[in-house]
Amino acid sequence: MGRRVTLAALVISAVAPLMLLGLWSVGDRWFFPALIPPTFTTDSWRAMLTGQLGAAAVVSGVVALATAVLSCALAMPIGHAVARLSGWRRHMASALAFLPVAAPPIALGLGLQYTFVALDVSGTIVGVIAAHVVPATGFLAIYFSGVFTALDPRIEDEARSLGATPIQVWTRITIPIVRRHIGDALALGFLVSWAQVPLTLVIGGGIVRTLPLAVYDYLRAGETRYAATGALLLTVPPILALLAARRERVAPL
């Protein structure tokens, strides 16, 4: 009985906010104390396809995709190097790799801002991607250090001993063996960027308008319907990632 109540509470706490967002996204002139919207409209959903909301979603998607690929490419060798260390060296390297994640994003953003202004990439998509790559690489480096710790180092030793070059070891042995983890890492990198606000604000300077920023803007302007539609869209990639992770767990090896 207690278990059922707990499960019901879990479902309600997970689904109810999404259902409310769904109602908000289509509710028109919906004010307290009305329990449901008096009228419905799909204008915010149409805006997603053609208007600013859609444009912000595309920018977010491009930034998150590029962040995922770049941070994955950087984090893999870093995680591999950390995994092959031991003792205090490993502890120090792990701490260094995790520093961009532990640092408050606003502090990180300000630190990066000076450099990016000098490089003339502040306020550009390239600058925002570069900024997102910093914490995403930290997350993924820690993730990959765990993956490579579990990978028997003798496998790579064996390949080297058989005459494989370092690139052949990576391309023919290491990457194929951890390919499923690379998929997870890409999803994680995508999500780190997808939900990123402070770094986008500081580096993008309001010029680069991603979906989370658009949601903030709509909220501040009192455009609740548009904000709710954007917020619903923001939940789609995490839900897809969770479903994919679940499917992977039950899939046969």
Partner 1 sequence: MEPALLVQGLAVPFGSGPGLREVTFDVAAGERFVVLGASGAGKTSLLRALAGLSPVTDGTIAVAGPAIYLHQTPVLFPHLTVYENVAFPLRIRGRPQAEIDGRVRAALASVHMGGFAPRMPRTLSGGQTHRVALARAVVARPALLLLDEPLASLDPTLREDMRRTILGLQADWDGAMVIVTHDLDEMSALADRVAVLLDRRIAQIASPAELLSRPASLAVARFLGHMNEMRVSGDAVAVFPPTAVRPQANGFHARVSGLRVRVRGTTAVLAVEGAEIEMSVDPFQPPEIGDELTVGLDPRGVVTFRDAQNVETPSVPISSTRIVS
Q: Write the burial class of residue 133 (CB in 10 Å: 0-12 exposed, 13-18 middle, 19+ buried).
A: buried
Q: Which C-beta is closer to partner 1: that of 51 or that of 176? A: 176
| Count of other CB atoms within 10 angstroms of residue 249 | 7
CA distances from 218 to 169, 224, 230 (A): 50, 7, 9
Distance CA 175, CA 142 (A): 17
**Shortest distance (Å) from residue 165 CB to partner 1:** 8
**Shortest distance (Å) from residue 136 CB to partner 1:** 27
**Shortest distance (Å) from residue 81 CB to partner 1:** 17
Please report, as ranges, the residues that interact with partner 1 according to CB under 8 A.
152, 154-155, 157-165, 168, 172-173, 176-177
Q: Which C-beta is closer to partner 1: that of 125 or that of 164? A: 164
**Shortest distance (Å) from residue 179 CB to partner 1:** 8
Q: Which C-beta is closer to partner 1: that of 13 or that of 161? A: 161
| Count of other CB atoms within 10 angstroms of residue 88 | 8
Tell me, rounded to whole angstroms, the distance of Cα 21 from its chain centroid.
Answer: 21
Q: Which C-beta is closer to partner 1: that of 53 or that of 159? A: 159
Please choose, from the candidates 187, 188, 212, 199, the residue with its C-alpha nearest in 3D space to the C-alpha of residue 60.
212
